[in-house]
Amino acid sequence: MYKIKYKVLIMVTKETIDKFIDKIPPAPKALRDTILLLNAGELIKAAKVAQSDLALSSYLKSMVNKPIYGFRNEVSNISQIFGILGVAASKQSVYNYMMSLLSPNKWLLFKLNSNSFHTLQDHLTIKWQKILKHLEITNQDTQNAITLLPASIIVSEALFCEHIDDVNLLRTAKALDYNTILSRLCGIDLFDISQRIAMKWEMPNEVSQIIQASSGIKPSDNELINLLGKWMHLLLFFELSQPQFIEAGLNDFIDFQIDYIGDIYEEFSTLMTKDLE
């Protein structure tokens, strides 16, 4: 019985994954223009364009006024928000919004909702910024790399939601984690999906390389990219191991590669401890 269901899931998922990713739309014009202006360092012009998109404006205002961002007074003007965040963080916030557009109205496999998904985005964003500051890395594209993995979780949810019984059967019978199911059944894993989304939205190749390195099993020959991959791998494991994401089932996506990150583990732990103080 297990073998029959296994074959059915291979057929459906392999076909669906390509179609689903191909259907991911490019960013709407207002978002594309905002990104282009931020790339050019034009914060004021970018803010004016972003202000014209009511949904984006609402998202930015809601995001930046969360306690995790640490602003004492409410910030409601988009120009002020971009000015406070700076070019790199503003661009990352817009990418986070783009990713959230894929989020389902109702999560079926993972125990998430829009609030908990945005919490995941916010936590990854803030902690990744701290890591890059610690490493003295200011490259904007590197900062934006963290936005893709939450989007891949959305894609995985969509791929599995119509076959939850089959997926749960595989997890029970074969004790497979979600990423292994994706890899074995589709020939593509969470990190490959992130790369496909990065290509779809015309992000720089460096972003895809960092994401792949963060898997812990696809190291890069580039020393800096590999280092960033190690830090991202640890961050993902750290964040998805928090109680609310364990309950949501997300911790089953990351297979912790201790040998890969052994040389920076203590440094990472110290930095995260400071973050919690």
Q: What are phi and psi of 166, to 5 degrees?
A: -65, -45
pLDDT of the residue at 37: 93
pLDDT of the residue at 177: 81
pLDDT of the residue at 138: 85
pLDDT of the residue at 9: 47
pLDDT of the residue at 132: 94
pLDDT of the residue at 114: 85
Length of the chain: 277
pLDDT of the residue at 79: 92
CB 213 within 8 A of CB 225: yes
| Distance of alpha carbon 95 from alpha carbon 160, whole angstroms | 24
| Distance of alpha carbon 9 from alpha carbon 25, whole angstroms | 26
pLDDT of the residue at 3: 47
| Distance of alpha carbon 136 from alpha carbon 101, whole angstroms | 31
- Residue position matching structure tokens 């898997």: 215
Q: Which DSSP state fits 24?
A: P
Tens of each residue's pLDDT in the chain, 277 residues: 444 444 444 444 556 666 666 666 556 788 889 988 998 899 999 999 999 988 899 989 988 888 887 777 888 889 999 998 888 888 888 888 887 777 888 898 899 988 899 899 889 999 999 999 999 998 878 888 888 888 888 888 887 877 778 787 777 766 678 888 877 777 788 898 888 888 877 788 899 999 999 999 999 999 999 999 999 999 999 999 999 999 998 988 878 899 999 999 999 999 998 755 4
CB 113 within 8 A of CB 177: no
What is the pTM assigned to this prediction? 0.82
Q: Residue 122: in which H helix or E strand, if any?
A: helix 114-135
pLDDT of the residue at 1: 45
pLDDT of the residue at 49: 93
Exposure of 205 in the CB half-sphere (CA atoms within 13 A): 2
Helix/strand/coil for 255: coil
